[in-house]
Amino acid sequence: MTIKNVQQQVDNWIKTYGVRYFSELTNMAVLTEEVGELARIIARKYGDQSFKESDKVYDLADEMADVLWVLICLANQTGVDLEEAFARNLEKKTRRDGERHKKNSKL
């Protein structure tokens, strides 16, 4: 499965079941909300906070998928090819940070 394919699957789902995309501003707010839900699980599972009873229904993988879903919606709405953007971003990081982390004594 390619990123391009995933973007198309999301678009097909929206057109079949979702009626239309939420506005970009709404989706940005939803993305923030979903990242917050993911952060909540991470803080409780790997951090110092303890789970509340209401937290126990959250699923880490599902929350990550929710973040990815909304990000893909935003990419589709704004005409961003995430596969192409990711390849460029990886190349940029490699040029910029190719040796930096290897030389970091903290790592």
Does any domain span residue 75? Answer: yes
Residues ≥6 apart with Cβ < 8 Å to 78: 24
- Note the pLDDT of residue 12: 98
Is position 98 within any domain? Answer: no
Burial class (CB in 10 A: 0-12, 13-18, 19+), 57: exposed
Is 51 within the bounds of a domain? yes
Residue 80 identity (one-letter amino acid): V
> Taking the model in full, what pTM does it have?
0.90
On whether residue 105 sits in a domain, the answer given is: no
How far apart are alpha carbons 80 and 53 in whole angstroms? 39
Which pLDDT does position 58 carry in this prediction? 86
What pLDDT sits at residue 25? 98
pLDDT at 73: 98
Q: Does residue 101 lie in a domain region?
A: no
pLDDT at 57: 85
Q: What is the CATH number of the domain that holds 45?
A: 1.10.287.1080
Which domain range does residue 41 map to?
3-81
Residue 89 domain-assigned (yes or no): no
Residue 95, domain member (yes or no): no
50 Rama sector, left if φ>0, alpha if ψ -120 to 50, beta otherwise: beta
Which structure tokens are listed for 21? Answer: 């995309």
Give the CA count within 13 Å in the CB-facing half-sphere of 19: 2
pLDDT of residue 56: 77
Spell out the per-residue pLDDT of the chain, length 107, in tens.
999 999 999 999 999 999 999 999 999 999 999 999 999 999 999 999 998 888 878 899 999 999 999 999 999 999 999 999 999 999 999 999 988 888 888 99
Residue 90 located in a structural domain: no
Q: Looking at the 3D structure of the chain, how many domains does it have?
A: 1
